[in-house]
Amino acid sequence: MALNARQFLSRVLITIVLFAPVSGFTDANRKTEKREDQTLYLALDAVPYSLVKELYDKGYMAGYSEPSLVISTFPSTTTSGLTGLLQPIGVKRALGYDAIFYDYGDDRVKGSLLTALKEKYNDYERIFDFYRHSFGQKFLIYAAPGVAVQRDMGHLQTVLRKNPRKKNIFYYIGGTDGTAHVLGRKRHAHILRHILNRLDVIRTRYKKRFGRELNVVLFSDHGFHYRHLKGMRTSLLEKMLKEKGYHLSKNLNGNGTVVVTEWGNISGASFYTHPRDTEEVAHLLNKIPGNDLTFFRSGRSIRVLSPDKGDARIDFDARGKQFRYVPLTGDPLLYREVAEKLGLAADGDWFLATSRHYYPDALHRIYDAFFTLVENPATILCSTRDDYEFGDPVTRFSSKLHGGLKGTHGGIFFTSSEAFVATTIPGVKLPPVLRYSEVFKFFVAP
């Protein structure tokens, strides 16, 4: 087939990219390394199951297991997602749901979207042999996501070469998140194919260099919902709160203060309130156009509010292992039928019944968000409609300059929550659908 000039150029570029770092494995002194297996755990930020499955079906993933669907945490953000995945291998709770969080101890909002936390990293970052921590490192993910991916895949060879005896290498690729937000699905698929190609080359060279296979476990932290989004209006939120005597603040030290932590332009948000204000503020948030579901703790239960589908209650046992969904004025999670069948049931049964639902595995995920994922749990959590995002008007505006956001994640609905895992390790049989906390039970702890 004849190539036009553009196709030719892109092939040349791909060839250069693929073969440029060839010195990676070949210039080092060849030593006979022990033939013990090494596994690369490669975290691909924001790569949804459905995209990976599509590439797998098209034959781009020879040697990998068929990808499994992993239902991510709620909120479906990187900090929450990676913490939830890695808690079973010893990772401690995150400070908050995302890079910006409220700290009860110091009564103030900390962190920023792009700057590294000065005092301490979230514990999951400790596991990674490579992670983009600082402002400059993270900025590249969104300013030039393709460049970030290429650099990081190049650096991966160096990390592997320098650590031949380390049994498990954990490596994070963030440019896939930037690609999805800024460039959309087609380019997301393109960058993913590029990563898979690079991995094939790396594994071939690795085998030559070390005389053994490099095992790979590919996984993502959350899904992605590709569509143009409307922004929820913070000014409207402020106005509605003001009418009832509340105001947004950076701390809770005052009458009627409500703390909001924004996570970038994504489909969720967390709010911190004085306990006496929680229920009233939750009902106000429920009325903001674009908000789909509002969750808040109420005594020994969790309440779920929806502006058009009514309210419900989630009951759970002391260990968070059994759940019941009780429709009150309506059925916000659309679980009524399942709830009538299950009653008070083990969370594994809820998972089986709801893992492919529009709000997958919601009871367990909401429970974890309030009780097990973070050190500073919110009193109220929101999940937006899938055509809205909540966040900073400045980044919203600047994204408009280059065509607007191409989608987001963060919410509890399916597309935001469909992460994946796939592996080249022979003999590892992954179930077709897993909860985030089950993924690393199939692999060896680092």
Nearest approach, Cβ of 17 to Zn ion (angstroms)?
24
Nearest approach, Cβ of 177 to Zn ion (angstroms)?
4
Nearest approach, Cβ of 46 to Zn ion (angstroms)?
5
336-365 positions binding Zn ion, by CB under 5 A? none
> Which of 21, 111 has the CB closer to Zn ion?
111
- Determine contact, residues 77/107, Cβ cutoff 8 Å: no
Nearest approach, Cβ of 77 to Zn ion (angstroms)?
7
- Alpha-helical (H) ranges within 20-71 are 23-26, 49-57
CA distance 244 to 82: 38
Q: Which stretch binds Zn ion (CB under 5 A): 56-64, 143-151, 176-184, 437-445?
A: 176-184
Nearest approach, Cβ of 320 to Zn ion (angstroms)?
27
Q: Which stretch binds Zn ion (CB under 5 A): 6-14, 63-71, 174-182, 291-299?
A: 174-182
- The DSSP annotation for 1-22 comes to ----HHHHHHHHHHHHHHHGGG
Q: Which stretch binds Zn ion (CB under 5 A): 172-180, 186-194, 274-282, 399-407?
A: 172-180
> Which of 290, 407 has the CB closer to Zn ion?
407
- What is the CB neighbour count within 10 angstroms for residue 90? 12
Nearest approach, Cβ of 171 to Zn ion (angstroms)?
18
Q: Which stretch binds Zn ion (CB under 5 A): 82-90, 155-163, 175-183, 274-282?
A: 175-183
> Which of 24, 223 has the CB closer to Zn ion?
223
> Which of 332, 407 has the CB closer to Zn ion?
407
> Which of 48, 360 has the CB closer to Zn ion?
48
Nearest approach, Cβ of 159 to Zn ion (angstroms)?
24
Q: Which stretch binds Zn ion (CB under 5 A): 23-31, 152-160, 173-181, 369-377?
A: 173-181
List 22's β-bridge partners, or say none: none
What percent of the chain is helix, strand and coil (3-state, nearest 5)?
40, 20, 40
> Which of 182, 288 has the CB closer to Zn ion?
182
> Which of 21, 178 has the CB closer to Zn ion?
178
Output DSSP code: residue 121: -
Own/partner contacts of 296-304, CB < 8 Å, gap of 24 or more, are 296/379, 296/380, 296/381, 297/370, 297/379, 302/366, 302/367, 302/370, 303/279, 304/332, 304/333, 304/366
> Which of 47, 91 has the CB closer to Zn ion?
47
> Which of 78, 257 has the CB closer to Zn ion?
78
Nearest approach, Cβ of 438 to Zn ion (angstroms)?
23
- The candidate with the shortest Cα–Cα distance to 109, out of 237, 242, 296, 262, is 262
H/E/C letters for each residue in 381-419?
A: EEEECCCEEECCHHHHHHHHHCCCCCEECCCCCHHHHEE
Q: How many residues bind Zn ion (CB under 5 A)?
A: 1
Residue 75: asked if its preceding bond is cis (omega within 30°), the reply is yes
- Alpha-helical (H) ranges within 87-162 are 135-143, 145-162
CA distance 148 to 138: 9
> Which of 129, 177 has the CB closer to Zn ion?
177
> Which of 176, 291 has the CB closer to Zn ion?
176
Nearest approach, Cβ of 75 to Zn ion (angstroms)?
11
Q: Applying CB under 5 A, does 98 fall inside the site for Zn ion?
A: no
Nearest approach, Cβ of 45 to Zn ion (angstroms)?
7
Angle 326-331-333 from CA coordinates, rounded to 5°: 95
- The candidate with the shortest Cα–Cα distance to 79, out of 56, 92, 96, 91, is 96
> Which of 142, 272 has the CB closer to Zn ion?
142
From 98, 123, 125, 177, residue interacting with Zn ion (rule: CB under 5 A): 177
- What is the CB neighbour count within 10 angstroms for residue 204? 12
Nearest approach, Cβ of 223 to Zn ion (angstroms)?
10
Strand order in the sheet with 345-346: 247-249, 257-261, 268-273, 380-384, 291-298, 301-305, 312-316, 322-327, 345-346
- Determine contact, residues 259/248, Cβ cutoff 8 Å: yes
Strand order in the sheet with 38-44: 168-173, 38-44, 214-219, 418-423, 68-71, 433-435
Closest chain position to Zn ion (CB) = 177
Q: Which stretch binds Zn ion (CB under 5 A): 169-177, 247-255, 314-322, 424-432?
A: 169-177
Nearest approach, Cβ of 78 to Zn ion (angstroms)?
7
Q: How far is CA 199 from CA 24, 77, 218, in A?
A: 13, 25, 10
In the complex, the residues that contact Zn ion under the rule CB under 5 A are 177
